[in-house]
Amino acid sequence: MRNNNLVVSIVCFCFLVTATIQAKPKHPKRVVLMIGDGMGLTQISGALSNFNGQNAFARFPVIGFSQTASADNYVTDSGAGATAFAIGKKAKNGAIGVDEFDQAQIGLFELIKKAKGKTAVVATSSITHATPASFYAHVASRNSEYDIAKYLIHGNCDIAIGGGSKFIYNRPDGFALDSVLISKGFQLIADTFMHEVRSNQFIYTLAPDGLKTMKAGRGNFLTQAAALAMKQIGNSATSLIMIEGSQIDWGGHANDFDYMQAELLDFNAAINFVLDEAMKDKETLVIVTADHETGGLSLLKSSNHPQKFEVNYASKGHSGVMVPVFAYGPGAEHFSGIYENTNIFHKIKTCLRLK
């Protein structure tokens, strides 16, 4: 009798394990790609060294590394770095959504719209800045922000939240972009604080250009904006939200560790929120990475305190070191190892089964 009970228990256990494995989605319904601009390992290590809250990066089961060189330079800029993610091809520094020959290429956002999915960008910079622009625009120069803004007309980006109102309203070229966007079905909101919206297609700008720094009182905009984008996109079968901690990079360019740290801790909070949501729905793949490292930051032995470090910057520009990639959710296993930044495009494409 005891043996029979044991057999029954084993069969029931195997059934439950099999059912659990079968119930686990092999592909995500949606991807949230979070980019800490200029965020290398030392930025993460330094910013979180004396942080007593929840370290979002420690929650990821899969970690890889991305090689960041652009088509024409070992040290990439944000335009070429984000373009590699967006179109899967190397670009020259300064380019947005084009290959090394300055030819526009179909990117993830276009592929998702062809699949009747939803797309969004969220940034603490202008929505026309290099990283967000690379996902919906195709121009030879990141400096052409008025031209970049016009690409919003094509509708490949359903939601854009950040700064950049000056590139939409009362433009110096006289082009009534705001009127055209409204005629295309977009809700336009220009404000200085976050509040709910009712449309699934909207452009929300909270500043003429980049947003305030955290030290100047930006508050929890990034987490609120991430929540808004995720809510408005809802349960779309195929979606990609790009969320950028833009000003981590700006702190690096200024060689201002406190500025960088405040921005990275804000990014950390947004990651924790997105992870919490992904753990609830179990159908969201969360990827966190960087386009490059900024400042050549190193953490050196302190001459005054053995438990602390001294900050050292090698430059006010970018460096060419590999950057980490963190992944959680269905499809996360694709992101382990060391690979070119262009592979992130192909891995997301595979996970979302885009054609």
Per-residue pLDDT of the chain (355 residues; tens, 9 = 90+): 444 444 434 334 434 333 344 445 579 999 999 999 999 999 999 999 999 999 999 999 999 999 999 999 999 999 999 999 999 999 999 999 999 999 999 999 999 999 999 999 999 999 999 999 999 999 999 999 999 999 999 999 999 999 999 999 999 999 999 999 999 999 999 988 888 798 899 999 999 999 999 999 999 999 999 999 999 998 888 999 999 999 999 999 999 999 999 999 999 999 999 999 999 999 999 999 999 999 999 999 998 898 999 999 999 999 999 999 999 999 999 999 999 999 999 999 999 999 9
**Total Cβ atoms within 10 A of residue 210:** 17
Six token digits for residue 159: 């939601």
CA distances from 138 to 46, 90, 119, 185 (A): 35, 14, 16, 22
The domain limits of the chain are 31-235+246-282+335-351
Are 122 and 105 in contact by the 8 Å Cβ rule? The answer is no
E strand map for the chain? 30-36, 62-67, 118-126, 159-163, 187-190, 202-205, 239-245, 284-289, 293-294, 298-301, 309-312, 318-319, 323-328, 337-340
The answer to whether the Cα torsion of 137, 141, 142, 146 is positive or negative is negative
pLDDT at 8: 39
Six token digits for residue 59: 């929650």
User: Which of helix, strand or coil describes residue 46?
Assistant: helix
DSSP state of 151: G
Find the distance separating the first CA and the last CA of the chain, reported in whole Å: 56
pLDDT at 14: 38
Closest CA to 261 of 246, 271, 273, 251: 251
pLDDT at 19: 38
Distance between CA 349 and CA 240 in Å, rounded? 10
Distance between CA 164 and CA 295 in Å, rounded? 26
Homologous superfamily (CATH) of 31-235+246-282+335-351 is Alkaline Phosphatase, subunit A (3.40.720.10)
Six token digits for residue 58: 């420690």
Distance between CA 250 and CA 174 in Å, rounded? 31
